[in-house]
Amino acid sequence: MKSWFVMLRSTSGRVGFNVFLAALLALVVLVSLRFGALKLTYAEILETFWLQPEGVDWQILWNIRLPRILLGVLVGGSLAVSGAILQGIMRNPLAAPGLIGVSAGGGLAGILIMLVLPQFGFLLIPAAFAGALLTAALVYLLAWKQGVSPVRLILAGVAVSAMLGAFSSTILLLNAERAGGVLDFTIGSLSARSWPQLRQVVPYMAAGLFVALCSGRKLNILALGDEVATGLGMRVERTRLLLLAAAALLAASAVSVAGLLGFVGLIAPHMVRIVIGPDNRFLLPASALFGGALVAGCDTVGRMAMYPSSAELPVGVIMALLGPPFFLWLLRRRNYEA
């Protein structure tokens, strides 16, 4: 077993693991295209895409399944990379996008639009996106005191998240008769998402992923501590702000279209780190690939959970079933305290 870990943590092993995750992601996409309320064979899928771009099968594949799968891949990858960045910045293995208030801010904005201002329903995605980003900025400002330390950032994020969560709960209680309509958003769901939602968030996700994937070496240096990073010539505060902005942008984009989808930013980076180690040059792309496969796979399971009924379980429910056991296992890992 140790020899396998030594091999996987070499440069060639890490590159090979990323290739494996890319293949796994492709497999998950293919399986997800096949299964749903209407099962299709791979021959039918190929024929529909290449020979018969019309009819019922085409509408199901092109307008329902494909954009939903691609959105799930991007949402999972964005949340996973956001979690990996935050864990590196804060030097805290339990850091996740919700820790800096992004989920709470996006959730509050989304709930306000859906329950208090339903006439502006067309602004749901931009409102949730703006709420998430503004909350991240507020947390950063509250944590600032001649610089931002990881501990102050965590404490400010927890406080702001709790406060915004209380506001969200109050709005839900005051509008209990209509609260069922926002259940999917508060749990996390990809239902009824298609090309318009995908086009809205792709530019932001692409920008955030580009910045993140180019910052692996900087995260490695930050992990050595602020004093060492400064001694190596890094402008620590500016670098931390840039990386925090990228993490917030990725998480805000995901929350705006998928709602309050939890645990992805915690589970995916950890699973990858266990295999290939903490080198962020390889950890970040591997987290993106694994996070995308994880969300797309869980969404497929949710769609098939009540087959042959057309009802489905939101992806957030499946993730919530996976997250707590993983979290408890993580707490019990040997040498976790170290």
Closest CA to 161 of 100, 113, 86: 100
pTM of this prediction? 0.91
Q: How far apart are CA 153 and CA 14, in angstroms?
A: 31
Whether the pLDDT of residue 262 is over 70: the answer is yes
- Alpha-carbon dihedral angle through residues 230, 159, 262, 22, given to the nearest 10 degrees: -10
Q: Looking at mean pLDDT, say which of 63-77, 166-180, 252-266 comes out highest.
A: 63-77
pLDDT at 337 over 80: no
pLDDT at 166: 93
Q: How many CA atoms within 13 Å lie on the side-chain side of 177? A: 0
Instruction: Report which of residues 169 and 150 the model is more confident about.
Output: 169
Distance, in Å, from the CA atom of 309 to the CA atom of 290, rounded to the nearest integer, reads: 29
Is residue 281 over pLDDT 90?
yes
- In this model, does residue 315 exceed pLDDT 60? yes
Segment 202-216 mean pLDDT: 94
Q: Are 72 and 301 in contact (CB under 8 A)?
A: no
Percentage of the chain beyond pLDDT 70 is: 96
Between these two residues, 330 and 97, which has the higher pLDDT value?
97
| pLDDT score of 338 | 40
Mean pLDDT of 85-105: 84
- Residue 149: pLDDT over 80: no
| pLDDT tens-digit readout, 239-251 | 988 998 899 899 9
3-state secondary structure of 335: coil
pLDDT in the model for residue 177: 79
Say what percent of the chain tops pLDDT 90: 41
Q: Which two tokens stand for residue 272?
A: 């990858």
- Alpha helices in the chain, H assignment, sequence order: 2-8, 11-34, 42-50, 55-58, 66-90, 102-111, 124-143, 150-174, 183-187, 195-213, 216-222, 226-231, 236-258, 264-276, 280-304, 315-332
- Residue 117 in this model has a pLDDT that exceeds 60: yes
Contact 138, 109 (CB under 8 A): no
Is residue 209 very low, low, confident or very high in pLDDT (cuts 50, 70, 90)? Answer: very high
CA–CA distances in Å: residue 190 to residues 64, 72, 83, 300, 303: 11, 7, 20, 10, 10
The answer to whether the beta carbons of residues 64 and 197 sit under 8 Å apart is no
DSSP letters of 166-185?
HHHHHHHHHTGGGGGGGHHH
CB atoms within 10 A of CB 203: 10
Q: What local confidence, expressed as pLDDT, does residue 5 receive?
A: 64
Name the residue with higher pLDDT: 274 or 292: 292
Give the bridge partners for 148, in sequence order.
144
Q: How far apart are CA 244 and CA 221, in angstroms?
A: 15
Q: Which amino acid is at 145?
A: K
Domains in the chain with CATH codes: 2-330 (1.10.3470.10)
Mean pLDDT over the full length of the chain: 88
